[in-house]
Amino acid sequence: PLQTNALEKQLELRKQFISNSLSLSYTAPIHMVRSAFQYMYDAKGNTILDAYNNIMLVGHCHPKVVQAAQRTFARLNTNTRYVYDELQSYSEKLLSKFPDSLNKVFFVNSGSAASDLAIRLAQTHTKKRKVMVMEHGYHGNTRLGIDISHYKYGQKGGPGKRDYILEASIPKIFGAGFGSEAEATKFYVEKTHKEIQNHELEISAFIAEPIIGCGGQVPLPKDYLKNIYPKIRAQGGVCISDEVQVGFGRLGKYFWGYEMYDVVPDIVIIGKPMGNGHPMGAVITTTEIAQSFENGLEFFSSFGGNPVSCAIGEAVLDVIHEEHLDTEAQNTGSYLKGRLKELGKQYPEISDVRGEGLFLGVEIMDEKFQPDTMFAQYLKNGLRMESILIGTDGPADNVLKIKPPLYFNKENCDMLLSQIEKLLQKK
Ligand code: PMP
């Protein structure tokens, strides 16, 4: 067995070395020692079902990914200023997942580095400065990342809105009192159009996640982007889709989130599941935008696109393909969503179930139809005591976030559902 210090000792050391600005999950923290596919194992030997970690897309420690890492790391690791097979091979495979117009890739090491670069690309290409961001959106931890993340700059302790930032109201349908999706779409599109008009010819980019994770797993109305993208482009800006959370087949039918809305962005940001836990990020864009960046100032990332990362990224794509994990996400996700909706008919606390594939949100409300933060936390902590991991998010932290490794199966869904139901009955 693995030798580890007791949890109390670990917590003490953590407190000594790590800033309190890094949070710890759960009132009863978990001391993790191993993981495999959709399971994690704590120091006490408990098996924990992971319904939360969307980074481990193809499963924790998937052997094919681990072997690709080990094999390549033992043979060659260098930077993109040399020629090596992995860069071309992975770029070709990755770009084959995008429409023809999106044909250039910049590799970095995180979603934050990718969103930072995406904004630089947009501003250089358009020679404009302003950026339109989505309310409650999150794109990264760099200075620029915080500037464009309402979820961060708008929070307590955040720096506030910068002068070059414009906000689009989150087009949330649930709870907003609209009669239909069409009515909601019209309202939000008109509101955002007005904001675009007020800054006509000044906006370099519009950036949004296809399903707004930190906003509480909020999908956009079907025709929202179809109405926003042309207006941004007409005044000379470009459109960015942040696929860091939802990309790589998690949404089942849609390999990328923008496909849900029948649009093609000018710039796409990817990260998290790209390396299944190995730190990877990338920006995918058009030839024209990439060319504008070839202005004499070199772009270089020490680690982005190195042979080990490329081999890992390629293994991730191969596993998704070979094991049909996007189809699995579709099937398991629609089963889980259906069952959660049924549960909602019995228990009014479950007020809305939304999302696609294995990226779901369950909004918890009280009898007065107000966000019930306490009850959402009770469910999250209650599930943790039953060794199931889920998250909560949203401005009121009352939305359960379910976004497991795609290995999560029907049996795992049943386990999750029965434990949620037990907690609902106990209330
Ligand atoms: N974009 C989105 C939508 C994210 O959820 C995140 C991370 N939570 C990022 C960007 C930043 O990625 P990273 O943490 O890898 O820098």
Q: What is the ipTM of this complex?
A: 0.99
> Is residue 209 within 6 Å of ligand 1 at its C-beta?
yes
Nearest Cα neighbor of 117 from 336, 284, 309 is: 284
Confidence class for position 355, pLDDT limits 50, 70, 90:
very high
pLDDT tens, residue by residue, 304-331: 999 999 999 999 999 999 999 999 999 9
C-beta of 219 in contact with ligand 1 (< 6 A): no
Q: Ligand 1 mean position to 21 CA, how many Å?
A: 17
Q: What is the mean pLDDT of the chain?
A: 97
Spell out the long-range contacts of 327-332 with Cβ–Cβ below 8 A and sequence spacing 24 or more. 327/252, 328/406, 328/407, 328/409, 329/249, 329/250, 329/251, 329/252, 329/357, 329/358, 329/406, 330/252, 330/253, 330/357, 331/252, 332/358, 332/406, 332/408, 332/409, 332/410, 332/413
Per-residue pLDDT tens for 213-227? 999 999 999 999 999
Confidence of residue 390 (pLDDT cuts 50, 70, 90): very high
- CA atoms within 13 Å, Cβ hemisphere of 25: 16
Q: Looking at the structure, do residues 316 and 350 belong to the same domain, yes or no?
A: no
pLDDT at 109: 98
Question: What secondary structure, in 3-state letters, does 288-346 show?
Answer: HHHHHCCCCCCCCCCCCCCHHHHHHHHHHHHHHHHCCHHHHHHHHHHHHHHHHHHHHHH
On whether residue 414 sits in a domain, the answer given is: yes
* pLDDT over 90 percentage in the chain: 97
Nearest by Cα to 242 from 275, 279, 271 = 271
pTM equals 0.97
Helices H / strands E in the chain, number of each? 13, 17
Residue nearest atom 5 of ligand 1, based on CA coordinates: 245
Asked if residue 2 is part of any domain, the answer here is: no
For the CA atoms of 84, 269, 250, 350, the dihedral, rounded to the nearest 10 degrees, stands at 160
Residues 257, 235 within the same domain: yes
Q: Is 137 in the pocket of ligand 1 (CB under 6 A)?
A: no
Asked if 139 and 258 sit in the same domain, the reply is yes
| Residue 72, in any domain of the structure | yes
Looking from the CA of residue 137, the nearest atom of ligand 1 is 3
* In the predicted structure, residue 283 carries a pLDDT above the cut 70: yes
Cα of 2 vs centre of ligand 1, distance in Å, is: 32
* pLDDT reading at 194 higher than 60: yes
Contacts of 308 (CB under 8 A, 6+ apart): 69, 72, 73, 77, 278
Residue 301 shares a structural domain with residue 332: no
4 has pLDDT over 80: no
Confidence of residue 6 (pLDDT cuts 50, 70, 90): confident
Give residue 3's pLDDT.
61
- Answer whether residue 351 is part of any domain: yes
CB of 213 closer than 6 angstroms to any ligand 1 atom: yes
Do 104 and 154 reside in the same domain of the chain?
yes
The residue out of 262, 295, 322 marking a domain boundary is 322
Q: Which of 272, 278, 280, 359 to mutate to test the pocket of ligand 1 (most atoms within 8 A of CB)?
A: 272
Cβ–ligand 1 distance for 140 under 6 Å, the answer yes
| Structural domain includes residue 1 | no
Q: How long is the chain? A: 427
Confidence of residue 349 (pLDDT cuts 50, 70, 90): very high
Same domain, 146 and 269: yes
pLDDT confidence band for 5 (50 / 70 / 90): confident
Structure tokens that stand for 318 in this block: 């191969």
Q: Domain tally for the chain? A: 2
Question: Do 245 and 120 fall into the same domain?
Answer: yes
To test the ligand 1 pocket, which listed residue (54, 108, 139, 147) has its Cβ within 8 A of the most ligand atoms? 139
Mean pLDDT score, 388-416: 98
Which residue segment(s) compose the domain that 222 sits in?
Answer: 63-322
**Same domain as 304, residue 186:** yes
CA of 111 to the centre of ligand 1 (A): 5
Asked whether 307 and 76 are in contact (CB, 8 A), the reply is yes
Q: Are residues 39 and 75 located together in one domain of the fold?
A: no
> Please, which pLDDT band fits residue 427 given cuts at 50, 70 and 90?
confident
| Arithmetic mean of pLDDT, 127-147 | 98
- CA-CA-CA-CA dihedral for 11, 15, 18, 22, to nearest 10: 80
Residue 220 sits in the same domain as residue 84: yes
Q: What is the 183 CA–ligand 1 centroid distance (Å)? A: 31
Q: Are residues 49 and 75 in the same domain?
A: no
**Cα distance between residue 107 and residue 70, in whole Å:** 20
Compute the distance from residue 133 Cα to the ligand 1 centre, in Å. 15
What is the C-alpha to C-alpha distance for residues 206 and 257, in angstroms, rounded to an integer? 16
Q: Is residue 284 part of a domain?
A: yes
Whether 149 lines ligand 1, by a CB cut-off of 6 Å, is no
Given 291, 322, 353, the domain boundary residue is 322
Going by pLDDT thresholds of 50, 70 and 90, the confidence category of residue 2 is low
Helix, strand or coil for residue 412?
helix
Q: Which among 322, 343, 362 is the end of a domain?
A: 322
Model confidence band, residue 92 (pLDDT cutoffs 50, 70, 90): very high
pLDDT surpasses 60 at 240: yes
CATH of the domain at 237: 3.40.640.10
Q: How far apart are the first and last CA of the chain?
A: 39
pLDDT at residue 339 greater than cutoff 70: yes
Task: Write the residue with the smallest CA distance to atom 12 of ligand 1.
Answer: 111
Read off the amino acid at residue 270: I
Which CATH number belongs to the domain containing residue 357 in this structure?
3.90.1150.10
* Cβ 242 under 6 angstroms from ligand 1: yes
- Mean pLDDT, residues 269-283 taken together: 98
pLDDT of residue 237: 98
Determine if ligand 1 sits within 6 Å of the CB of residue 141: yes
Pair 274, 382 in one domain: no
Ligand 1 close to Cβ of residue 391 (< 6 A): no
Q: Residue 65 is encoded by which pair of tokens?
A: 């990914």
